[in-house]
Amino acid sequence: MILHILTKAPDSSAATQMQQAIGEHDTVLLIEEAVTAALDTSWAVWQQCQSRIFLLSEDLTSRGLAGIAANNELPTLEMQGFVALTEQYEKTVTWY
């Protein structure tokens, strides 16, 4: 089980590489520019990871996307949840 942390936009090469590396028991956390995935609910990773993908709420708020995420019922975490999530996984991979 791996926690994948994506920092780049969903159409980036880092996102493509991450998508190819995700295992069925892995979790994805979208931070920084990756939270723009809230604008595209058809992004393949939403279907691939379903209940195992989260957006960092602070980054959503700073980009004005918190309302869009809430309207689409996308799973979010605050910073404390981010820390708790990293504690659950022995391995994390950050995609830049």
Model's pTM, two decimal places?
0.95
pLDDT in tens, 59-82: 999 999 999 999 999 999 999 999
> Hey, what long-range contacts does 15-21 have (CB within 8 A, 24 or more apart)?
15/45, 15/95, 17/95, 18/45, 18/93, 18/95, 19/44, 19/45, 19/48, 21/93
In the chain, count of helices (H) and strands (E)? 5, 5
- Helix, strand, coil shares of the chain, percent, nearest 5, are 50, 20, 30
**DSSP designation for 22:** -
What pLDDT sits at residue 50?
A: 82
